[in-house]
Copies of this chain bind each other. A is one copy, B any other.
Amino acid sequence: MARTPTTYDPFNAVAEPKRRQVLEALGEKELSVNELVELLGWNQPSVSKHLGVLKQVGLVEERRVGRQRMYRVNAERLKPIFDWVAPFEKYWTERFERLDTLLEKMKKEK
């Protein structure tokens, strides 16, 4: 077998750097395809194809307005990635250690 398809899950869809750029560009604001084309500086079919993958995997949603298609991020589909990576965060920063210590203290004091 080959690699896991890009449309299999958010991890694979987001592995492609350009698809991350698309999601960043969308950010909070809904954008049309042409707005993305201009913003990113890629050709239109390329943008459309990446949007197609993101849409298949549920990372963006599409709304039709006249001959335009407005795309927006569906952030909840990124939650599995966050949930997977978050537990490792304590290893590179102390913020959470401090928080853990604080919570432990609060627990004991209670």
Closest-CB distance, A41 to chain B (whole angstroms): 18
Q: Which residues of A contact B (CB under 8 A)?
A: 3-4, 6, 9, 11-12, 14-17, 20, 23, 73, 75-76, 78-79, 81-82, 84-86, 88-89, 91-92, 95, 99, 103
Q: List 29 A-B contacts (CB under 8 A).
A: A3-B6, A3-B15, A4-B15, A4-B17, A11-B14, A11-B17, A11-B20, A14-B15, A20-B84, A23-B88, A73-B88, A73-B91, A75-B88, A75-B89, A75-B91, A76-B91, A78-B85, A78-B88, A78-B92, A79-B89, A79-B92, A81-B81, A81-B85, A82-B82, A82-B89, A85-B85, A95-B103, A99-B99, A99-B103
